[in-house]
A and B are shown apart, each in its own frame.
Chain A
Amino acid sequence: DIQMTQSPSTLSASVGDRVTITCRASQSISSWLAWYQQKPGQAPKLLIYKASTLESGVPSRFSGSGSGTEFTLTISSLQPDDFATYYCQHYISSPWTFGQGTKVEI
């Protein structure tokens, strides 16, 4: 199985900060990576797919980059609505594993 490792596990930030979350795959997954945002009590929401393609309706302050084994999710200017947990997930082959999550807190 391909393992996905996110860092950091927790991130403390303030409104307006630039925030970067890293996701590393245990082997190359090309660009087959998605990022999700999850708030307490809610289902995850797709933010980015194919490593860097913004899902429709997602604010442009979110961006993704990377390929192969190293990927990043960047929030250019953190907004109050962005405090949540973020997960990466690969889908190059079964099983589609998730990272352990990064909690962005105030």
Chain B
Amino acid sequence: QITLKESGPTLVKPTQTLTLTCAFSGFSLSTRGAAVAWIRQPPGKALEWLTLIYGDGDERYSPSLKSRLTITKDTSKNQVVLTMTNMDPVDTATYFCAHWPGYGYGLDYWGQGTLVTVS
């Protein structure tokens, strides 16, 4: 059974760096086939895809946020870490991590999300 859970601060100040951890179980992120993505959702607004890391370590970023985002994985701990620099109140959102099983599939398992407020 695949599970994912986000953790990190609920409140950050403007200009600070946000670090969120996605702890997962039920799959291995050590081969190209799988990936973990981060998606966010400002209150009352739509989903926004942020970044993705494949099992082989390859990374993809949203062009509009690329300069501020870093995604890493720790295979031994079954964790994926998202870092976002220079936080602004417009970055207030629920941040989700999600599992991608591989080519052709959608994001099939999601964490519950964590609300981050920038103020």
Residues 52-101 of A at the B interface (beta carbon under 8 Å): 55, 87, 89, 91, 94-101
Least CB distance, A52 to chain B, in whole angstroms: 12
Least CB distance, A72 to chain B, in whole angstroms: 16
Give A1 to B62 CA distance when docked, in angstroms: 9
**Which single residue of chain B is at the shortest CB-CB distance from A85?**
B46
Instruction: Find out whether the CB atom of A87 lies under 8 angstroms from the CB atom of B47.
Output: yes
One of B9-17, B21-29, B85-93, B107-115 contacting the partner: B107-115
Instruction: Find out whether the CB atom of A101 lies under 8 angstroms from the CB atom of B107.
Output: no
Give chain A residues whose Cβ lies under 8 Å from the Cβ of B105: 34, 49-50
B80 within 8 A of A: no
Give A38 to B113 CA distance when docked, in angstroms: 12
- Select B104's contact among A50, A95, A98, beta carbons within 8 Å: A50
- Majority secondary structure, A binding face: loop
Knowing A32-B104, A50-B105, say if A43 contacts B110 (CB, 8 Å). yes
Q: Interface residues of A toward B: which range?
A: 20 to 34
A11 within 8 A of B: no
Instruction: Find out whether the CB atom of A89 lies under 8 angstroms from the CB atom of B96.
Output: no
B74 within 8 A of A: no
Apart from A36-B107, A95-B63, A98-B46, what are 9 other A-B pairs with CB-CB below 8 Å? A34-B107, A35-B106, A36-B47, A43-B112, A43-B113, A44-B96, A46-B106, A50-B104, A98-B47
